[in-house]
Amino acid sequence: MYNGQRKERNLLLGVLATGVILLSAACGSAHDVQSAATLVPSAEASNASPNPTPEVTIHAHGGAPAGTPDKPFSQNPRLGGISLGMTLADAEAEIGGPAGDSYTLTEAGHTVELREYGGLTIGVDSSEHVVYVEISSASVSSGLPNVEVGSPTADAARSLSLKAVPSSSSMTSDVEGGILRLDLDPVTDEVVTIKLIGSSLV
Domain housing 28 = 1-56
Instruction: Specify the number of domains making up the chain.
Output: 2
User: Does 39 share its domain with 71?
Assistant: no
User: Does 74 share its domain with 107?
Assistant: yes
User: Does 194 share its domain with 122?
Assistant: yes
Question: Tens of pLDDT along 36-57?
Answer: 444 444 444 444 444 443 332 2
User: Does 123 share its domain with 24?
Assistant: no
pLDDT of residue 74 exceeding 80, the answer is no
Question: Tens of pLDDT along 78-137?
Answer: 999 999 999 999 999 999 988 999 999 988 788 999 999 999 999 999 999 999 999 999
User: Does 155 share its domain with 186?
Assistant: yes
User: Does 146 share its domain with 74?
Assistant: yes
The secondary structure of 19-41 as a DSSP string is HHHHHHHHHHHHHHHHHHHHHHH
pTM, two decimals, is 0.64
Q: Which of 36, 56, 76 is the last residue of a domain?
A: 56
User: Does 157 share its domain with 74?
Assistant: yes
**Residue 96 forms part of a structural domain:** yes
User: Does 77 share its domain with 172?
Assistant: yes
User: Does 43 share its domain with 74?
Assistant: no
Tell me how far apart the alpha carbons of residues 155 and 147 are, in angstroms, rounded to a whole number.
Answer: 8
Q: Supply φ then ψ for residue 182, to 5 degrees.
A: -115, 115
Q: What pLDDT sits at residue 14?
A: 52
**Residue 61 forms part of a structural domain:** no
Tell me how far apart the alpha carbons of residues 68 and 11 are, in angstroms, rounded to a whole number.
Answer: 95
**Residue 62 forms part of a structural domain:** no
User: Does 42 share its domain with 119?
Assistant: no
**Residue 105 forms part of a structural domain:** yes
Q: What pLDDT sits at residue 10?
A: 52
User: Does 140 share its domain with 195?
Assistant: yes
Q: Is 95 left (phi over 0), alpha (psi -120 to 50) or beta?
A: alpha
Question: Tens of pLDDT along 179-196?
Answer: 999 999 999 999 999 999
